[in-house]
Amino acid sequence: MLFNPPVIALIMVSVVVTLMLLAAAGLAVQILMYWDIGSGSERQLILERRTYLVSTLLTWVFASELISLMLFIYNAESMSGQFVGAMCATGVLNVNAWGWPALFLKLIIFFSGAVWLAINHLDNQGFDFPLVKVKYLLLLIILPLVMVEAFVQLQYFLGLKPNLITSCCGSLFSSEAEGVVGNVSSLLPSTALLLFYGAGLLMMLSGTWFLWRKSGGWVFSSLSVGAFIASLAGMISYVALYVYEHPHHHCPFCVLKPGHDYAGYALYLPLFAATALALATGAVSRWKHVPSLSAVVESNAPRLAWLSMMLYALFFSVATFFVLRSSLVMAPFW
């Protein structure tokens, strides 16, 4: 194992977060079993007080998961100097089989955390806590994810041996590569272009529909997941080429490097925030029929959708800006 402070920090955080969630899950089980808002018993009072603790714990858990996601990527980027063959985060994630799963798990936890926080926020505004069972059930679903993530990440770091030879992004993200990544990289730029802007447009239309007719929140959410995946694919097969000004360089991590003006941050931060907000929109708008929540949903859900669409718009404008600014000219060859 490599004894880096960021690695120690990441392991420490995953362990502490798992413990916090385990504690919260214990309370969640009690709440699921005995919660009865109509009762005035002592047990109910204790449970109501404990919900505050769980909310606080989980807010911190998901905040730390967000920072640890960023630290994970940043750390992979900075360790690329220590492995033969690695030139950016791709190579470091490739060092063993656990790297990519750890990253994907972190992403999934980030998005589920956003949904949980949105539901929690909504629930706290209803006087009778109508979603209490829903959110604690959701918490029990997230717990195994976090535990698996802690395990996978630990395996990944334990398997980081400096004498391993890894492959750089040039070989993984190339049209000759096999599997999904190879397919994405070898997408024709014209197809990628259509997918990239098409999915974005569909999502924007559904968002507008939602704002206008106050219905179809879940459609907006699902389309935004589609737009998220299409955007990542578009980043690899299309936008990346223009950022690097190189027709064969597809890496989604090298954009984070200072040599490319940290372009990746301007792209990924709005994209991730927008997707999280869109998922939250779907999760919140679903509860319009609950009497104590309908007023809150009425005012909150459109706000979330609006913010999400603004951030998507920002993402697409930044991406378009990078394509237009670039001195790479590909259009005549498609």
Stretch that binds another protein, among 13-21, 147-155, 198-206, 244-252 (CB under 8 A): 13-21
Q: Does 205 bind another protein (CB under 8 A)?
A: no
* Cβ partners under 8 Å of residue 85, min gap 6: 91, 165, 166, 167, 168
| Residues 197 and 235 sit within 8 Å (Cβ to Cβ) | no
Among 34, 52, 212, 321, binds another protein (CB under 8 A): 52
* Cβ partners under 8 Å of residue 133, min gap 6: 31, 32, 35
Q: Does 310 bind another protein (CB under 8 A)?
A: no
- State the minimum distance, in angstroms, from the CB of residue 37 to another protein: 16
Q: Which two tokens stand for residue 254?
A: 């090298």
Q: Does 165 bind another protein (CB under 8 A)?
A: no
* Cβ partners under 8 Å of residue 275, min gap 6: 111, 224, 225, 227, 228, 308
Q: Which two tokens stand for residue 280?
A: 């939250």
| Residues 278 and 203 sit within 8 Å (Cβ to Cβ) | yes
| Residues 307 and 224 sit within 8 Å (Cβ to Cβ) | no
Among 30, 44, 96, 124, binds another protein (CB under 8 A): 124
Q: Does 41 bind another protein (CB under 8 A)?
A: no
Q: Does 75 bind another protein (CB under 8 A)?
A: yes
144 to 163: interface string for another protein, x by CB under 8 A: ------------------x-
- State the minimum distance, in angstroms, from the CB of residue 271 to another protein: 19
Closest CB to another protein among residues 5, 332? 5
| Residues 297 and 119 sit within 8 Å (Cβ to Cβ) | no
Closest CB to another protein among residues 121, 214? 121
| 3-state secondary structure (DSSP) of residue 31 | helix
Closest CB to another protein among residues 11, 318? 11
Among 3, 127, 333, 334, binds another protein (CB under 8 A): 3
- State the minimum distance, in angstroms, from the CB of residue 196 to another protein: 28
For the chain, the residue count is: 334
Among 18, 68, 112, 285, binds another protein (CB under 8 A): 68
Q: Does 212 bind another protein (CB under 8 A)?
A: no
- State the minimum distance, in angstroms, from the CB of residue 71 to another protein: 5
Q: With CA atoms as reference, report the closest residue to 331 among 183, 188, 232, 185.
A: 188
Q: Tell me, what amino acid is at 164? A: L
Instruction: Give the binding-site size for another protein (rule: CB under 8 A).
Output: 34
Stretch that binds another protein, among 49-57, 105-113, 235-243, 309-317 (CB under 8 A): 49-57
DSSP 80: G
Closest CB to another protein among residues 78, 208? 78
Q: Does 259 bind another protein (CB under 8 A)?
A: no
- State the minimum distance, in angstroms, from the CB of residue 251 to another protein: 17
Closest CB to another protein among residues 2, 219? 2
In angstroms, rounded to a whole number, what is the distance separating the alpha carbons of residues 243 and 247? 10
SS3 sequence, 164-232? CECCCHHHHCCCCCCHHHHHHHCCCHHHHHHHHHHHHHHHHHHHHHHHHHCCCHHHHHHHHHHHHHHHH
Stretch that binds another protein, among 12-20, 175-183, 276-284, 316-324 (CB under 8 A): 12-20
What are the residues binding another protein (CB under 8 A)?
A: 2-10, 12-13, 16, 20, 49, 52-53, 56-57, 60, 64, 67-68, 70-71, 74-75, 78-79, 81-84, 124, 162
